[in-house]
Amino acid sequence: MRIAPVAIALFAMSVAMPAAGQTLTVTHPLPVNSHYGAAATAFKEVVESRTQNRIRINIQRSDNERENIEALQIGTGDLTITSTGPVGNFVPEVRVFDIPFLFRDYQHARGVLDSAIGQEVLTRFPARNLVALAWIENGFRNLTNSRREVNNPNDMRGLKVRTMENQVHMQAFRALGALPTPMAFSELVPALQQGTVDGQENPIPVIVANNLNQVQRFLSLTRHVYSPALLMVSPNVWNRLSDADKAVFRDAAKAAVTANRNRVSQDENTGVEELRRRGMTVRTEVDTSAFQQALAPAFEAWGREFGAQAIERIRSWRPN
C-alpha cells in the first residue's frame, strides 16, 4: 500500500518525460560534412546543452529518405532530415512547393517557407502520423549527365534522368522530353555507374558532398526547381516530451535551420569552382526561359491540381 503512490508517480514520470540518459537518433542521407550534417550537428548541440545531456542526440547516415520517414511513422525511428523528394507521397499538401521555377531565389524560397504559407503546411503532418519541426533546405537543383552538354530542353530529349520518387518532378521531366526514372538516393550512384540512367539532378551542396563528379561529366546550372527539406520527429517521441523539452526541440530546430541555410549559401558560393577543379564541364548559362516554355502544359496541370491562386500566392510573395 505504501509503495503504490511512488510507483504511480514513477510510472507517470516515465510516460511524461524521457528517462535519464535517453539517446535519440537523427537520420539523414548525406555525409557529415554537408548542409544536412550542419543542421543535425546544430540540433544536437542545442538539445544536449539545454537538457544537460539528459537527452543525447546520435547522428546517423541513412540514405533512403522514404524508409527514414516510414520509420518515424512506425516508431522505429526518432528524427530525420529529408528533402521533400518522397514527402508528398505522405503529406500531399507539400507537393505545391516541388513545382519547378516556383521560387526566384533563396530569399524567396526561405521567405515563403517561413511565412504563414509554409508554416500552415507544417500543421498538416500530424494527421499523417508525422511531426515536422522546421523547413530546412536542400537547395536549387541542377542537372548533371554523362552524355552531353545540356543548354536547352532539346538537349534533354531521350535522356534517362534519375528523379526522386516525386510525382511533380517526374511530370516535369516527362514534359521536357526526358525519361524520368524515379529511385531512392541510395540507388543513385550504382545506377549512374552501371549506366541504368544517364543523368540526375541535385543541388550543388549534394553534388559536392557526395562526389557525384566521379560519376558524371557534365553539369548544367538549370536551377530548375528549389528542393525544400524538413526536420521531422516521430509522434512516438514528440508526444512523450514534456512541454519544456518540446520548447528545447523547437529552439534546436531553429539553430538547425540557420546552420543549414548558411552552409547551403557557402556551398553555392564555392561549389561550382570546386566541381570544375574536380574535372566537371560546367555550363553556367542555360536557357531557362526555354525550359519554362517547355513546361507550359505541366504548369497548366499543376494549376488545376493545386489551384492557380495558391500558386500565384507563392509566386507573388515579396519580402516586407
Three cell numbers, residue 10: 514513477
Min dist. Cβ of residue 166 to ligand EAX (A): 9
Which residue, 144 or 202, has its beta carbon nearer to ligand EAX?
202
Which residue, 98 or 245, has its beta carbon nearer to ligand EAX?
98
Q: How far apart are CA 183 and CA 187, in angstroms?
A: 6
Min dist. Cβ of residue 206 to ligand EAX (A): 5
Min dist. Cβ of residue 160 to ligand EAX (A): 15
Min dist. Cβ of residue 180 to ligand EAX (A): 13
Which residue, 37 or 153, has its beta carbon nearer to ligand EAX?
37
Of 57, 73, 66, 76, whose CA–CA distance to 29 is shortest?
Answer: 66
CA count, 13 A, side-chain hemisphere, 215:
19
Three cell numbers, residue 301: 496541370
Which residue, 204 or 255, has its beta carbon nearer to ligand EAX?
204
Site for ligand EAX, rule CB under 6 A: 29, 65, 83, 85, 138, 164, 185, 202, 206, 227
Q: How far apart are CA 242 and CA 246, in angstroms?
A: 6
**CB 240: neighbour CB atoms within 10 A?**
15
Min dist. Cβ of residue 140 to ligand EAX (A): 11
Which residue, 62 or 129, has its beta carbon nearer to ligand EAX?
62
> Strand 55-61 to strand 79-83: parallel, antiparallel, or no bridges (unpaired)?
unpaired
Min dist. Cβ of residue 188 to ligand EAX (A): 7
Which residue, 34 or 234, has its beta carbon nearer to ligand EAX?
34
What DSSP letter does each residue of 106-154 carry, written as one string?
Answer: HHHHHHHHHSHHHHHHHTTSGGGT-EEEEEEEEEEEEEEESS----SGG
